[in-house]
Structure 1
Amino acid sequence: MVLALPAGVQAQATTAAVGAEPVILEEIIVTAQKRMERLIEVPLAITAVTGAEIERRGVASLRELQYAVPGLSLVETAPGQERLQIRGVSATNGLPTVGQYLDEMPTSIDDNTQSVGLRLIDMERVEVLRGPQGTLYGEGSMGGTIRYLTANPDLRDFGGRLEGQLGRVTDGGTAGRVSGVVNLPLVKDRVGLRVVAGYEDTGGWIDSTVTGKKDVNAARIFTIRGKLLAEVTENLQASIMVLHQDQKQDYQNYGTGRQTSAPLAAYNNPNYDLVNAVLRWDLGWGSLLNSFGYQKAENSTMTDLSSVYVPLLPVFGYPAGTITSVGLGSDSSTEIFSNEIRLASAPGIVEWTVGLYGRRLDREGVSRTVTAPGTMAFDLISAVATSKSEAGAVFGELAWNVSDQLTVTGGLRYFYEKRTLTAVSASFGNPAINENSGDFSSVNPRVNVSYKFSPDGLVYASVAKGFRSGGFNSAATGGPADYDPEKLWTYEVGTRHQLLDNRLIVDAAAYYNDWQGVQSSFFPVGAAIGYITNGGKVQGYGIDASLTARPVSGLTVSATYGWNDLSYKTASAEHAVGDPVDYAVQESWSGYIDYRWPLSESLDGFARLDYQHAGRSAIINRGSNVNVRIGARDLLNARIGVDFGNFELSLFADNLTDVSRPVIPGPYGVILQDVEQTPRIIGVNFKTGF
């Protein structure tokens, strides 16, 4: 039974009414191809997770959702500090390999290790597109694209909901979160406002043996989002979405045995402000859309470099014990303006989409080493840098519906970018100056042929190119001044079917990746900062698959599987032939069982088990003698509860078996200890609507 919410809010409720629920699976509508389509008819490798499914899973971020999507995985040292990969396309440095969008705006800040870390509150759905999306999307969409689509205001009815959760972290503190949604129809059927707010405390579980403080890695995250929607006329719609999110975390998730001996607090304190203003105009024969985006991202972090630099200091005349800790403090501020205008035809024999896109990014950063208890006469590392990016693209896709069954689609995107870097940096007190400027461009085609066996089943074959820009190295590293772009070709066949009167949905794809000019990191001996070069070719096959079934009313079962064998076919600065791609999980699978049953006319029960398996991966840098093997992890989550109609109460256990295998085992490089897995959390959750 759903919470008793108004119609617009009810779409986001956690369950469907069991008593009236048909023995079929939910029909999902997506906009992955920039037009509304049934998911079952989209000839792409795509997974769509609805807001209702996010609620049922009880997840708050992409990290908790990752293995529900075949081929997707991420490594996170703290909320928002993450490396994200799809289908094994992963990188240690440079720009992101996965594009991320919030509604109609890109959210990438040109940092492969940092993202907004959006909290999944009141989402309409999350769409994950696997494989290069270089035609209709950009901003790092080489391995794939993730779209976070927020719920629209309901223009008719007032309503809302409240959710709270409290849990105990094994060997740690108290984790909790609270969120609320309020829907306000300001002018009935014309103007509506939806406001979402949330606060989360992750609890923490790592104790400092240096300071004696407990649970030092607790993160506190605050989010507030508003969305105003106006039906200006019958044919013109306008919306504006505003989001603010900030986070405070004294220590990132570094430790060994749930303790840290780090002499410095590796804090991480990002905050974000985003605005997306969208105009949609129905022209009858087509539609016109303009999306304006603005983003301000600021972050302050500390990295502990003690193990790298403290042993070297006696060489510079600082006796052992004079300085026992060396940290690198960094502050950055990034401001981004973007705009896309897109024209799409109405459905017909020939359907097309054309558009223009532009973006300007300005980033300023200051980094400097700090030492304790003694000080030094010079900075071991320092940098004051300003980087800019001015990018533009023109793109188009055309689909020819040759018959009711056969469709041929072709697309092309021309991308151009001018990047500049101005920096004054130093290593061991020796100054160096960067004055770099360069142009990067690419033509990214896509061809897709699909055949529908029926309205509920198809097969497709596609070829698509992905691209990632080059960039510049700090002059203080002594490496080359710049590095070149890289490109990826993906060849894919897939199928999607809805069977047994919509009780079963199967989705599968097989692909081959050919990745050339791979950007590789090289660290000179004794250096904590390295430079990027081009070299090496990565190739390999992969498979994605998922299955969802509803055999009887109230019971849903699902399973996913992802596998890739991507490896280096030629050597690079950091890899030998045969090495896997860094951080890329080669095999993963997941499954869940969700059962909901009536206890009485006004009372329903529910129970759910979620299982996730992350296979082995590795981090290798032959030049720095790094060869870290990351073991497999198996996580089990459980939830059981009662739905009273307008109130829901449940008990949950995340990481039920308390798996403690590290996300990344240390030490290596600047990671002095393990990156730890979140321990078991047992708690209670409630939801209510009005």
Structure 2
Amino acid sequence: MRAFARVSRSQVAFDAASVRGRKSHRLVGSFPPEVALEKLLFGTGLGFVRSSADVFIIKLLPSRAKSPPTPQAVQVAVEVERPSEIIVTARKREERAVDVPVALSAVRGRQLEQRGARAVTDFLQEFPGVGSYDRGSGLLKLTIRGVSTSLGANENGYYLDDMPFTGVTVPLSPDVRAWDLDRIEVLRGPQGTLFGEGSLGGTVRILTKDADLDIWESKGDAYLSTTDGGGTNRGIKGAFNAPIVPGMLAVRVAGTDEHLPGWVDNDATGGHNLNDQTFKTYRAKARFNPTERLIINGSYWFYKGTFPGGDSTATDAGQQSRATVLASSVKYGLAGLSALYDFGSARAFYGYSHSRFDLPQSGPAAGGHLDTRTGITVDAHEARLASTNIQPLQWTFGAYLRDASRDDSLQFPLFDVDNTSAVTSKARAVFGEMTYTIPFAPVGLTVGLRYYHEHLRGIETNTGVMTVQPDGNYHSWNPRFSVAWHPRKDSTVYVSAAKGFRGGQLQPTVAVALARPFGIALPDILAQDSIWTYEIGGKAELLDKRLTLEAAAYYSDWKNVAVRLPLGDTGYNGLVNSKGTRMKGVELSIASRPIPALSFMASGSYTDATYAAPVPGTGIRAGTAVEDVAKFTAGASAEYRKAVNETLSGVARVSWQHSSPRRFASFAGYRPGDRIDRIDVRFGIEAERYSISLFADNVTNEHGAESFRTVQQIAPNELDVVANRPRPRTLGIELSFLVPGDR
């Protein structure tokens, strides 16, 4: 303990009788103080809390004499005194966010619950460089640093715990309810080395709470609210943690049940509040520590969202589309199993995940009736070995395997379309990353490389006639380089160059057939796309962590981006590779706690994302804005807490989100969206075990077009112009409780 105090420049307090005879592990490497101390105490029966900026108190664990505190338990102790500091695993090892030479933002799950967030889309846009909106159909639109498309596999990484989600041949980011989460991490810039395919603009990691081996805990939440022009919303949530065998085996379960009536009307049919939303979710996690060195985790997610009256698109007058209204439901399930073994000088990890995603849609479209269904199954394995020693050289090596399949069906009798298709994707990758810290200078040099190979196969059936599509084979070498300088203990300045990648896709055979009469030759297979991003950034924690700053500037070159090519007046489109897009931007964020009772956060970003060259037959020209990207995004929030008496505290919070208009250039007739400004306020009373809050979401009743406006002709002189809309002003009350247990 004395050696740790000397090296970390911290104070360590302990009772000599409690530590006498106990022997810690030998530790070599570069770690944040909390992580280093956790490793030192592993298996000793001792834990710690951090009572101030640089003071650690060593304590005997009464009910867990042979196992260390979980990382979550350590984090809770840190959170109480150091609210600005958070431990992340952005490089697949535990580090302080301020030490990682990557532009990243992170928020704890407890903060999301305190602010009343319902879904991840409620707050993602408060992070610089991130654009997001809820489609109202169980899916969200996600852009990071101008990387946005509606074609191909996911362009931005989307991880649920350690389980990757991919749409295979279409970007899909499913809704996640913001309940019982450990934290959200958003990594900006290509993450192809460690997170693989699809992480071109960045990666979102949604990490749920692990089972705690020692604490019995239950918590719940219920809310009731009313939406302007809509109905009464209600939701109930719960979570429970049970240490079955204290110190060895525990389970944690969580669930939600929410119903949100719609607000979109259709005066032509007499329908009101049509776009209802119902969410039912549950998660279960188990943790088993059979030995001091081995941790085994199992998990299961289930989500079902039902949207019988269509999504959140509407006209400027709040009317439902008269061209296309598709009832839908989204259902997905994910099962995962992982194991972590600590060798002392290195840690070995293996993870397996299985997911199934289903999206049926049905309803009127273009004067006819459309039925469509998408089903995606993914099995993924990852194994890696990472160093843990405090040595100048840190390293991570691993391998990845993914098998995925997608099945689609489309019936549209008006145009005699009866189509089914099946696509299989087999991906394999090996990767590694090393960081060397110069012994005589606070400088770290990082180099990483990932090799990726994917094989696509497809079959399509049109009105009973089967066509075997040509195979697609894609491979890519994907490096990353960075230099990080740490001028002081809590600051990092870095420069980096990184490559992201994504496999191509197969051309639908219907599009090939429809294109021929117009003299349009479509490729059978689309090329893969890739991106290089060059970045300089810095971050720092100042004034005893009462002030946190982060800034970055970048330039990205995204090549071979797939775009839609309209096929005459058929209403269909083909797919072609463009010359690509160019993005440049700046990001800034600040978090401050000038006094203990007041906290403030603000962020902003400028993203200039444009196409590099024209695409004949489309509305794309050189300099045209990339689809669905807001040039400016910003967010700010302030929170004030004041003690009412010895047991109660009052809380007031206000937040603001801004985005500039979004556009869609492939179809020249589509119109831009609107500038969006949303303000939420919240007032509450909190006690140790419960809280009650009054809230107002979208106080100004913002109803502009969050997305671009789609345009369809429904009569010779009449157009149907609709866009995605935010939920109108919503007023409500929320009650939460927590029943903590003893160790």
Q: CA deviation at 1:134?
A: 0.5
1:408 aligns with 2:445: yes
Q: Describe how 1:116-515 pairs up with structure 2 within 5 A.
A: 116-250=174-308, 251-256=310-315, 257-260=317-320, 262=322, 265-302=325-362, 304-306=364-366, 325-347=367-389, 348-370=391-413, 379-403=415-439, 405-425=442-462, 433-478=467-512, 479-515=522-558
Give, in angstroms, the shift of residue 666 of structure 1: 3.5
Q: Does 1:604 align with 2:669?
A: no
Secondary structure, in 3 states, of the residue corresponding to 2:623?
Answer: coil
1:683 aligns with 2:732: yes
**Structure 1 pair 9–400 and aligned structure 2 pair: CA distance change class (3 A):** closer
1:615 to 634, 657, 660: 660
Partner of residue 576 from structure 1, selected from 598, 609, 621: 621
Deviation per CA, 1:277-331: give whole Å up to 9, x if none: 010000111000000000011110136431xxxxxxxxxxxxxxxxxx3132111
Distance in 1, matches of 2:723 and 2:488, equals 51
Contact 2:169 2:505 in 1 (8 A): no
Letter in 2 for 1:336: V
Match of 2:723 among 666, 674, 681: 674
Secondary structure of the residue aligned to 1:135 is helix
Percent of aligned pairs sharing the same letter: 28
Separation in structure 1 between the aligned mates of residue 177 and residue 122 of structure 2, nearest angstrom: 11
Does 2:628 correspond to 1:594? no
- Tell whether the 8 Å contact from 2:180 to 2:209 is kept in structure 1 after alignment: yes
Deviation at 1:151, TM superposition (A): 0.5
Name 2:117's counterpart in structure 1. 59
Structure 1 pair 35/72, CA: closer, same or farther in 2 (3 Å)? same
Give 1:327's aligned amino acid.
Answer: H
C-alpha deviation, 1:165, in angstroms: 1.0
Structure 2 CA distance for partners of 1:566 and 1:604, relative to 1, 3 Å: same
Aligned-residue offset at 1:606: 0.2
Q: Which residue of 2 aligns with 1:322?
A: none
1:9 CA displacement: 12
Q: Tell me: CA distance 1:661–1:263, structure 2 relative to 1, closer, same or farther (3 Å).
A: closer
Aligned to 2:515: none
The answer to which of 259-268 and 630-639 deviates more is: 259-268
C-alpha distance in structure 1 between counterparts of 2:699 and 2:72, whole Å: 30
Are the structure 2 counterparts of residues 459 and 60 from structure 1 closer, same or farther at C-alpha, using a change threshold of 3 Å?
Answer: same
- CA pair 364-569 structure 1, distance change in 2 beyond 3 A: closer
State how far apart, in whole Å, the 1-side matches of 2:88 and 2:380 are: 23
Secondary structure of 1:618's aligned partner? coil
Deviations 1:571-624 (A, max 9, x none): 124310110110011111100001111001111000000000111221112xx4
C-alpha spacing 1:639/1:522, structure 2 compared with 1 (3 Å): same
Which residue identity does 1:417 align to in structure 2?
E
What letter matches 1:382 in structure 2?
A: D
Are 1:525 and 2:568 an aligned pair?
A: yes
Aligned with 1:619: secondary structure? coil
Structure 1, 413-422 or 62-71: larger mean CA deviation: 62-71
Residue aligned with 2:613, SS: coil
**What is the match of residue 311 of structure 1?**
none
1: CA distance, partners of 2:112 / 2:353? 26
Residues 394 and 567 of structure 1, relative CA distance in 2, 3 Å threshold: same
Describe the SS at the equivalent of 2:112: helix
- CA separation in 2, counterparts of 1:393 and 1:667? 39
Deviation at 1:113, TM superposition (A): 4.6
> What is the distance in 1 between the residues matched to 2:698 and 2:468?
47
Q: Structure 1 residue 665: deviation in Å?
A: 5.1
Between 1:204-213 and 1:651-660, the stretch displaced more is 204-213
Q: Deviations over 1:180-201 (max 9, x none)?
A: 0101110011111000000122
**Cα distance in 2 for residues equivalent to 1:673 and 1:351:** 52
**Gaps in structure 1 of 5+ consecutive residues:** 1-5, 307-324, 372-378
**Could you say what secondary structure the match of 1:260 adopts?**
coil
Give the drift of 1:350: 0.5
In the TM superposition, what is the alpha-carbon distance from 1:435 to its structure 2 partner?
2.1
The CA distance in 1 between the partners of 2:111 and 2:170, in whole Å, is 28
User: Number of aligned pairs?
Assistant: 650
CA deviation after TM superposition for structure 1 residue 179, in Å: 0.6
**In 2, distance between residues paired with 1:28 and 1:551?**
19
CA distance in 2, matches of 1:644, 1:636: 26
Letter paired with 1:579: T
Q: Which has the higher contact order (CA 8 A, sep 6+)?
A: 1
Match of 1:63, SS state, is helix
CA distance in 2, matches of 1:280, 1:237: 5
8 Å Cα contact 2:447/2:481 also seen in 1: yes
Contact 1:512 1:541 in 2 (8 A): yes
Relative to structure 1, is the Cα distance of residues 37 and 392 closer, same or farther in structure 2, using a 3 angstrom cutoff? same
Letter in 2 for 1:272: Y
- Range with bigger deviation, 156-165 or 296-305: 296-305
Paired letter, 2:311: Q
Distance 1:123 1:368, change over 3 A: same
Measure, in 1, the Cα distance between the counterparts of 2:644 and 2:200: 49
Query: Are 2:635 and 1:635 aligned?
Result: no
Structure 2 CA distance for partners of 1:639 and 1:11, relative to 1, 3 Å: farther
More moved, 467-476 vs 185-194: 467-476
Structure 1 residue 476: Cα displacement: 1.2
Contact 2:145–2:583 under 8 Å retained in 1? no
RMSD: 2.3
Q: Distance in 2 between matches of 1:136 and 1:125?
A: 19
Deviation at 1:74, TM superposition (A): 2.4
**Structure 1 71/264 Cα, relative in aligned 2: closer, same or farther at 3 Å?**
closer
Q: 2:13 maps to what in 1?
A: none
Quick one: structure 1 residues 333 and 261, their matched pair in 2 at CA, closer, same or farther if it must change by over 3 Å?
closer
Name the amino acid aligned to 1:673: V
**Contact 2:633-2:658 at 8 Å conserved across structures:** yes
Stretch deviating more after TM superposition (216-225 or 90-99): 90-99
**Contact 1:210/1:263, CA 8 A, preserved across alignment:** no
Opposite residue 397 of structure 1, the aligned amino acid is E
| Residues 305 and 528 in structure 1, CA contact (< 8 A), matched pair in contact too | no
Q: Which residue of 2 aligns with 1:312?
A: none
* Secondary structure in 1 matching 2:671: strand
CA change 1:397–1:144 in 2 (3 A) is same
